[in-house]
Amino acid sequence: MKGRIAVLDRINGREAAALIVDGRLEDLLIEPTDDGTPRPGAIYRAVADRPLKGQNGLILKLGDGQNGFLRQAKGVAPGQGMLVQIATQVEAGKAAPVTLKLLFKGRTAILTPDKKGLNIARSLKDEAERERLAEIAHETMEGAPENLGLIIRSAAASTDDDEIYGEIEHLRKTCEAVSSEPVEGPPELLLDAPNAHFLAWRDWADPMPDQVFENEGAFEDHGVWEMLEDLQSARVTLGKQFSMYIEPTRALTAVDVNTGGDFSHSAGLKANLAVARDLPRQLRLRGLGGQIVIDFAPFAKKDRRQVEHALTRALRADRIDTNLVGWTPLGHLELQRKRERIPLSELLD
């Protein structure tokens, strides 16, 4: 099917959403089991517990037996209260990584407490549109606290004025309600993390889907179950000959590239370029982050720059922060990827 469609359904009673572009699965969101684990985007009143010597970090109490970990926490005394936001997914057996830099994120705008300024997405180049959005930004932030900043997102370009005004007003009320909470007091969840269907509406809006299907059985109607089955296999087929295997371990995710039945002189380079273009999508769909180590098919060292360029371009189009660390002496390429999602294998258990 041609076009960009969003498919909303449920898996085992939990919200799930799939973004399909020209018949290919581009993104997938599944609501995790409600087991009390802190989730990215949630805001807590936390209480400093104990420092971690040598790591320049601090363990925080988040309430209900949950702990957080704050980096660069020099000078924070045990028992001190603070407002924090969960920054990434929680690894099993570890404290939830948190940040003091709160964000209130909507489809068309983001509010940034303690980071003042009015900004418009740099991807918006049309001057008339930038002027329209700048006027909206100034009007909606009139009377706001001096330290409160606003970012107008690129999705605002396809949104009418009233909807943008309404969303910023809602974000301001939410921000003010959370910010007015006293930092001293027992640890407590103040703002829950967004659910899967809201995230689909918020993050898939640029460009807007051509169609949205939201009904029981929508995954069946649009072949999403077959796509999910493919994602549960380590093997990813790339064209007629090439493939890669994506295999997560406790320490890292290993990616092995194979040329298959192509024995031509350029087979290695062609296979590696195919992997570079598709790997960010595969990691996103499988919910994999942390250390990624790619064992490319044999190819000339002089062609590394070409593979790096293809991978960098694919990563630039991805929403999840990933750093290209570099090549190892054995010729592997290392990536460091933000743990923004729960691995698909855990969500489908």
Residues 75-107: pLDDT tens digits?
Answer: 788 899 999 999 999 988 889 999 999 999 999
Which class does domain 104-180 fall in?
A: alpha beta
Give 44 or 54, the one with higher predicted confidence: 44
DSSP readout, 231-296?
A: HTSSEEEETTTEEEEEEE-SS-EEEEEE-TT--STTHHHHHHHHHHHHHHHHHHHHT--EEEEEEP
Q: How confident is the model at residue 262, as a pLDDT? A: 87
Instruction: Kindly provide the residue ranges of all beta strands, DSSP E only, lying in the chain, ordered along the sequence.
Output: 4-11, 14-21, 24-30, 43-52, 57-63, 66-71, 81-86, 96-99, 104-105, 109-113, 117-120, 148-152, 188-191, 211-214, 235-238, 242-248, 253-258, 290-295, 322-327, 333-337
The domains of the chain are located at: 4-31+205-221, 43-99, 104-180, 232-347
Q: State CA 57 to chain mean position distance.
A: 24
Give the model's confidence band at 56: pLDDT under 50 very low, under 70 low, under 90 confident, else very high. Answer: confident
| Mean pLDDT value across residues 161-174 | 96
- Count of CB atoms situated within 10 Å of the CB of 75: 7
User: What architecture (CATH level 2) is domain 232-347?
Assistant: 3-Layer(aba) Sandwich (3.40)
pLDDT above 80: residue 54: no
List, for residues 242-279, the tens digit of each pLDDT value.
Answer: 999 999 999 999 999 999 988 899 999 999 999 999 99
Q: How confident is the model at residue 151, as a pLDDT? A: 97
pLDDT-above-70 percentage for the chain: 100
The overall average pLDDT reported for the chain is 95
Give the model's confidence band at 240: pLDDT under 50 very low, under 70 low, under 90 confident, else very high. Answer: confident
Compute the distance between CA of residue 140 and CA of residue 23 in angstroms, rounded to an integer.
40
- CA nearest 44: which of 76, 78, 80, 84? 84
- CA nearest 31: which of 191, 195, 194, 189? 195
The sheet that has 148-152: what strands, in order across it?
A: 104-105, 109-113, 148-152, 117-120
Q: How confident is the model at residue 72, as a pLDDT? A: 80
Q: How confident is the model at residue 52, as a pLDDT? A: 84
| Mean pLDDT value across residues 13-21 | 97
Give the model's confidence band at 236: pLDDT under 50 very low, under 70 low, under 90 confident, else very high. Answer: very high
- CA nearest 23: which of 38, 34, 41, 7? 7
H or E, element range at 90: none
Q: How confident is the model at residue 46, as a pLDDT? A: 97
Length of the chain: 349
- The CATH number of 43-99 is which of 2.40.50.140, 2.40.400.10, 2.60.120.10, 3.40.50.450? 2.40.50.140
Compute the distance between CA of residue 185 and CA of residue 45 in angstroms, rounded to an integer.
8
